[in-house]
Structure 1
Amino acid sequence: MHTFRDFSFRPARAALCLLPALLLAACGPAPETSAPPLPVLVAQARPAPDGGQVFSGEVRARREADLAFRIAGKLAVRLVDPGTRVKPGEVLARLDPEDVRLSAAASRAQQAQAEADLKLARVDLERTRALRSQNFISQAALDQKQAAYDAAAARSEAARAQATVAGNQSGYATLTADVAGVVTQYFAEQGQVVSAGQPVLRLAPDGEKEVVIAAGESQVGAFKIGQPVKVSLWARPLPLIDGVVREIAPAGESASRAFVVKVTLRPATKGEDEAVRLGMTATVVAGNGATAQSGVVLVPPGGLVQAAGKPVVWVLAGAPAGPVKAEARPVTVAQYREDGVLVSGVAAGEWVVSRGGHKLQPGQLVRAESLPGEAPPALSAAAASAGGAK
Structure 2
Amino acid sequence: MRLLTLPAPELTMPPTERARALVFEDPRSHQLLQRVKQVASSDAAALLSGETGTGKEILARHLHELGGRRGRPFIAVSCGVLSPSLAESELFGHEQGAGARKRGLIDAAQGGTLYLDEVGDLPPGAQARLLRALQEREVIRAGARRAAVDARVIAATSVPLESVVAAGGFREDLLARLNGAHIAVPPLRERPGDILPLARYFAGLYGRRLGAAPCALASSAVELLLAHPWPGNIRELEQVIHQASLVCRAGRVTRDDLRFTSLQPKAPALPGAPSTVDALMATLESTIAALFESGCPNAHERVEEIVIRATYRRCERNLGHTAIRLGVSRELVRTRLLQFGEIGTPPSSEPPASLSRTGEARAAVKAPQTLQS
Tell me the TM-score range normalised by the shorter chain.
Answer: under 0.3
Computing the radius of gyration over CA atoms, which structure comes out larger, 1 or 2? 1
Query: What's the TM-score, normalizing by structure 1?
Result: 0.19
Query: What's the TM-score, normalizing by structure 2?
Result: 0.19
More helix by share: 2
More strand by share: 1
